[in-house]
């Protein structure tokens, strides 16, 4: 455990010294499990899969609607909480709604929330949801789901690249958001606000990411995401849509872990909401900072 803490400190210092305003979350150390040789392994029944929770007919006709991916924890969950406070209709997606206890708790008390099961790499399910919500204007399509860097692999050099994770990161962080945008473009264009918001990262910026070999898969997937969206931004104005990428800042989203200088999800999300609220067509295709919407370099 001491070795893990020390490594974490070194890693944190390394990042800070390389890029003063740039850091990324790291994963929690693995819990220490003390095996009990005498105890028989307990059979834990997996909860039944849940496809949908809530009913979109509860949506208010005069309230704006947001569609959020990766809504069961971290930044996505905080977005759901804050959008509910603002009275929005919310379509929140999660890979396993049955395990998303905090999201379910919001659905218990907030009628205008529908939870849909979605792994963003399941393109057939994205199409199914697009069909289900074909007549539902979506004011803000918010692509938030992402594979974030893991503690164990984040600081490895090229010999340590996990190729499965490399492919998966591209699929989840870059390709899936483009598929999502493609499938829901019509619903966004039919809305009043017409915004596509993509959560990216400074890790994907050539200028802002640290000048060192680290997080090969994550930073590359976010750079690919940026280019996909930059390219798409040449199509969105024709539909009246404003597309922007957002950096959420460095945010504590790993339970039980506080990263030096990181902010909490409520601060990141409340500031991003202001940026989203104030988005103008001139910001189409730009990469913006959570703090004040300042344009960030690619």
Instruction: Give the footprint of ligand NAP on this chain (CB under 6 A).
Output: 24-25, 69-70, 72-76, 95-96, 119-121, 144-148, 172, 199, 201, 248, 250-251, 253
Query: Closest CB to ligand NAP among 148 and 217?
Result: 148
Query: Closest CB to ligand NAP among 112 and 217?
Result: 217
CB of 246 to ligand NAP, least distance (A): 9
Query: Closest CB to ligand NAP among 37 and 124?
Result: 124
What percent of the residues of the chain are helix, what percent strand, and what percent coil, each to the nearest 5? 45, 15, 45
CB of 125 to ligand NAP, least distance (A): 10
- Our measurement of the distance from residue 2's CA atom to the centroid of its chain's CA atoms, rounded to an integer in Å, reads 31
| Dihedral of alpha carbons 182, 187, 190, 194, sign | negative
| Dihedral of alpha carbons 120, 121, 124, 127, sign | positive
Query: Closest CB to ligand NAP among 70 and 81?
Result: 70
CB of 180 to ligand NAP, least distance (A): 10
Query: Closest CB to ligand NAP among 70 and 293?
Result: 70
- C-alpha angle with apex 119: 41 to 84, nearest 5 degrees? 100
CB of 192 to ligand NAP, least distance (A): 26
E strand or H helix at 219: helix 216-232
- C-alpha angle with apex 242: 250 to 131, nearest 5 degrees? 95
- For residues 245 and 203, the answer to whether their CB atoms sit within 8 Å is no
DSSP 3-state of 289? strand
| Dihedral of alpha carbons 214, 174, 106, 67, sign | positive
CB of 81 to ligand NAP, least distance (A): 13
Query: Closest CB to ligand NAP among 191 and 250?
Result: 250
- For residues 217 and 161, the answer to whether their CB atoms sit within 8 Å is yes
Query: Closest CB to ligand NAP among 137 and 141?
Result: 141
CB of 210 to ligand NAP, least distance (A): 13
- For residues 264 and 249, the answer to whether their CB atoms sit within 8 Å is no
E strands, the chain, are 52-53, 65-68, 89-94, 113-117, 140-143, 195-199, 242-247, 286-289
CB of 190 to ligand NAP, least distance (A): 25
Report the length, in residues, of the chain: 298
DSSP 3-state of 83? helix
Query: Closest CB to ligand NAP among 93 and 187?
Result: 93
CB of 97 to ligand NAP, least distance (A): 10
């Amino acid at each position: 455990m001491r070795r893990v803490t020390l490594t974490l400190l070194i890693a944190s210092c390394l990042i800070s010294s390389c890029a003063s305003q740039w850091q990324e979350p790291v994963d929690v150390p693995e819990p220490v499990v003390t095996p009990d040789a005498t105890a028989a392994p307990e059979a834990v029944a997996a909860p039944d899969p849940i496809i949908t929770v809530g009913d979109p007919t509860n949506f208010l006709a005069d309230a704006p609607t947001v569609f959020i991916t990766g809504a069961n924890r971290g930044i996505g969950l905080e977005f759901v909480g804050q959008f509910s406070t603002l009275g929005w209709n919310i379509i929140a997606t999660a890979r396993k709604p049955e395990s998303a206890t905090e999201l379910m708790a919001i659905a218990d008390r907030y009628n205008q929330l529908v939870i849909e099961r979605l792994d963003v790499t399941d393109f057939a399910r994205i199409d199914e949801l697009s069909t289900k919500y074909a007549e539902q204007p979506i004011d803000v399509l918010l692509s938030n789901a992402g594979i974030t860097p893991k503690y164990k692999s984040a600081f490895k050099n090229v010999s340590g690249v996990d190729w499965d994770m490399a492919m998966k990161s591209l699929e989840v962080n870059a390709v899936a958001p483009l598929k999502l945008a493609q499938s829901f473009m019509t619903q966004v264009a039919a809305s009043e606000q017409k915004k596509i918001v993509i959560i990216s990262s400074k890790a994907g910026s050539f200028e802002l990411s640290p000048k060192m070999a680290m997080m090969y898969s994550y930073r590359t997937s976010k750079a690919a995401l940026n280019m996909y969206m930059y390219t798409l931004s040449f199509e969105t104005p024709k539909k009246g849509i404003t597309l922007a990428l957002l950096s959420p800042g460095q945010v504590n989203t790993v339970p039980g872990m506080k990263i030096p200088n990181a902010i909490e999800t409520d601060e990141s999300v409340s500031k991003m909401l202001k940026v989203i609220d104030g988005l103008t067509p001139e910001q189409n295709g730009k990469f913006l900072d959570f703090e004040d919407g300042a344009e960030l370099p690619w």
